[in-house]
Structure 1
Amino acid sequence: MAEGHGIVDLHTHVVPRSWPDLGEGRPWLRIDSEREAMIMIGSSEFRRVQSNCWDPQVRLADMDLDGVSLQVVSPTPVFFGYDLPGAEAAKVARIFNDLTLEICASGQGRMLPFAQVPLQDPDAACRELDRCVAAGHRGVEIGNHVGDRDLDDAGVVTFLQHAAKLGVPVFVHPWDMPSSPRLDRWMGRWLAGMPSETHLSIMAMILGGTFDKVPETLRICFAHGGGSFAFWLGRLENAWHRRSDIIATSEKPPSAYLGRFSVDSVVFEPAALRTLVDVLGASQVMVGSDYPYPLGERPVAGVVHRSGFLSATQREAILWRNAREFLGLPDWPSLQAAVTEPHTAR
């Protein structure tokens, strides 16, 4: 492999193989073999998963194939438990977070755990974040909404303020997309619903005043390229100025908040990545893969390597430098993975 800093993959997920059946229709894991399992919700099958969801050695081998030096390991959103009472959701979070630490402990220092919290209960969420940071978690993943409460909800703002105070990075993942006859075809909830959900929540943080209430030191990143937000920023900006009687609820116009959040690079096509870089700036984009799920990108950072419009400085920033700052990590002279040459698919 070529000498140089390795890719930092900010967006991956884990499912602990030892996840218990908590009953009452909660998600659980049906073990089908040493290498395969099925995420179940009650008696219904939700998603088939393989050992790359829980086996550090499998993950490390895939990381080596793709030139990934560090991988942020986050929960799989179906396990959030936001529909539970706060105390029960806190129990779910503790179990998931402790099992994630066990998985990452065998990751040779290359797997950085992100926690989940009972976001529906701000006090419990802050307590769990405190516990997790003390135990070794490097950040937190939250869903983009809790029922009908978006990221401008007072309780969510309280949690984000606490994360900023601790200096903990926050990764926002869309989840619990609405179901309808139109969206239930062709994976429409994932292909159209997820981008829409993320767009809506960035809009809520701006127009709902969240960015006006949380410190500028808050490090927050949105999955899947921030959904459709970058493409439709002009429409939002136009509405803020032309329908100020309804839209101008933030202290500043939407474009003024572009430096306040980052997005990952899971957009698959160079043209889409170019939109992110042109609108948000290369400093606000970081590699994500959605590993190990089928709708993710393999090889990791393939779209970055195929984007010939990027300068060497921009490519380096997206591949690892931005993530190093986002994660609050020191310079890593020991990171030696291949990023200077495009990787080919396996």
Structure 2
Amino acid sequence: MGAIDVHTHYVPQGWPDLSADVSPPVPWLRIGSESDATIMLGSREFRDIGAASWDAQRRLSDMDADGVDVQVVSPTPVFFNYGRTSVEAVRIARIFNDLALKIVAPAPDRLLPFCQVPLQDPDAACRELERCLANGHRGVEIGNHVGDDDLDSEGMITFLQHCAALDVPVFVHPWDMRSSPRLDRWMAQWLVGMPSESHLSIISMILGGAFDRIDERLRICFAHGGGSFAFWLGRLENAWHNRRDVVGVSQHPPSHYLGRFHVDSAVFDEHALLLLVDTVGSDRVMVGSDYPYPLGERPAGRVVRESQELSASQRGLITRDNAISFLGLNPAPTPRSQS
């Protein structure tokens, strides 16, 4: 049986002109040919993309080649638009969410759409989530912060609690990394900024008390292996025990919350994967490839499948069974003993 990939992205092959009701910079797609395009933010080029971003048949062909049965298909974070007004963000979210359903329509059992929401307005975000679920979306992808508000802010907790009440899986993706002369070299925003953003997101939910306040039914997964969290859990634990006067408001030490979240496997190295599994547990890691982008893993789940240190049971959990549970798919996974 093939893998389930919980971390992939889409971009529609064009969308309505937003210039009349969205303030600059307006996102649009510059088409190069039938198989390539460029995401534009006003006059600025953001990223070159290929047909796999919107073409279901190309995507399915790549999935077959990689041994992937199911993909979670999530928005590309640049389109979150959390810095815009709520009205503008709602407009963009509705357009992209509806177009996502058209992209996955050729294979609804293999391509599972996750929606985006205007997270800067928690009430509007809850309404858009409900609309999308009614239309066929299977979960929601959110950015890891809105401006300076982390996942422990009141608005974020309101939305996440709503997700828990609806029993909706949430995928957290780092976005809007800071720019500076040091971070603008060598893709450092992606190589350093993204791991640190994911790390900070998990810390905010732990130390900020979000996990203490949100229903334990919440199913939440952090992209890119949770960033640098696994490597620095010991430092975090030490700080919580020795500087409780300044380190967070959580009711328990950080290690207490390891069973409250999932991470994907997009760490690209077996040593890092083994540390991740040892830290969060083999029942909390799921295959994530970041398809179809160049920094993704191809074939999807390669490091997991080729690992000589993981047991067959652990590989089964990570490549498929954990995602079946996280996504609420049927049939339920056959129980496996961890080793």
Q: What is the TM-score when the length of structure 2 is the normalising length?
A: 0.96
Structure 1, unaligned stretches of length 5 or more?
334-346
1:165-223, Cα deviation, whole Å (9 max, x unpaired): 00000000000000000000000000000000000111000011110111111000000
Offset, 1:21: 3.4
Offset, 1:108: 5.0
C-alpha contact (below 8 Å) 2:209/2:248 kept by paired residues: no
Q: What is the TM-score when the length of structure 1 is the normalising length?
A: 0.94
Task: Within 5 Å, give how 1:87-166 maps onto structure 2.
Answer: 87-166=87-166
1:218 and 2:257 equivalent? no
Task: Within 5 Å, give how 1:1-346 maps onto structure 2.
Answer: 5-23=1-19, 24-331=24-331
- Counterpart Cα distance in 2 of 1:16 and 1:29: 9
Offset, 1:89: 0.5
- Counterpart Cα distance in 2 of 1:283 and 1:20: 42
SS at match of 1:282: coil
C-alpha contact (below 8 Å) 1:32/1:38 kept by paired residues: yes
Higher relative contact order (CA 8 A, sep 6+): 1
C-alpha contact (below 8 Å) 2:14/2:28 kept by paired residues: no
SS at match of 1:252: coil
Offset, 1:332: 7.4
**What is the root-mean-square deviation in Å for CA atoms of aligned residues?**
1.0
SS at match of 2:33: coil
- Look up the equivalent residue of 2:18 and give its one-letter code: L
Offset, 1:32: 1.0
Count residues with an aligned counterpart: 329
1:224-262, Cα deviation, whole Å (9 max, x unpaired): 000000100000000000111111410100000000000
C-alpha contact (below 8 Å) 1:7/1:320 kept by paired residues: yes
- Counterpart Cα distance in 2 of 1:67 and 1:88: 39
C-alpha contact (below 8 Å) 1:164/1:219 kept by paired residues: yes
C-alpha contact (below 8 Å) 1:164/1:215 kept by paired residues: yes
CA 1:125–1:317 in 2, change beyond 3 Å: closer, same or farther? same
- Look up the equivalent residue of 1:259 and give its one-letter code: G
Structure 2, unaligned stretches of length 5 or more?
334-339
- Counterpart Cα distance in 1 of 2:219 and 2:108: 26
- Counterpart Cα distance in 1 of 2:16 and 2:223: 28
- Counterpart Cα distance in 2 of 1:231 and 1:291: 25
SS at match of 1:29: strand
1:53-82, Cα deviation, whole Å (9 max, x unpaired): 000000000000001000000000000110
- Look up the equivalent residue of 2:170 and give its one-letter code: V
1:114-159, Cα deviation, whole Å (9 max, x unpaired): 0000000000000000000010000000000001111011001000
Offset, 1:19: 2.2
- Counterpart Cα distance in 2 of 1:20 and 1:37: 16
CA 1:203–1:223 in 2, change beyond 3 Å: closer, same or farther? same
C-alpha contact (below 8 Å) 2:221/2:262 kept by paired residues: yes
